[in-house]
Chains A and B, each alone.
Chain A
Amino acid sequence: DTGVSQDPRHKITKRGQNVTFRCDPISEHNRLYWYRQTLGQGPEFLTYFQNEAQLEKSRLLSDRFSAERPKGSFSTLEIQRTEQGDSAMYLCASRVTDTQYFGPGTRLTVL
Chain B
Amino acid sequence: AQSVTQLDSQVPVFEEAPVELRCNYSSSVSVYLFWYVQYPNQGLQLLLKYLSGSTLVKGINGFEAEFNKSQTSFHLRKPSVHISDTAEYFCAVSPLGGGKLIFGQGTELSVKP
A residues touching B (Cβ–Cβ < 8 Å)?
Answer: 4, 6, 31, 33, 35, 40-45, 48, 56, 91, 93, 95, 97-105, 107
Contact = CB atoms under 8 A, between A and B. Distances in A.
A45 B43 contact: no
Given A105-B41, A107-B41, 20 more contacts: A6-B43, A31-B98, A33-B101, A35-B101, A41-B106, A42-B90, A42-B92, A42-B104, A42-B105, A43-B90, A43-B101, A45-B100, A45-B101, A56-B100, A95-B98, A97-B98, A98-B32, A98-B49, A99-B49, A102-B44
A41 B105 contact: yes
Contacts of B100: 33, 45, 48, 56
Nearest to A91: B43
- Summarize A's interface: helix, strand, loop or mixed: strand
A43 B41 contact: no
| Main SS at interface, chain B | strand
A45 B102 contact: yes
Nearest to B104: A42
B80 interface: no
Interface in B85-105: 90, 92, 94, 98, 100-105
B7 interface: no
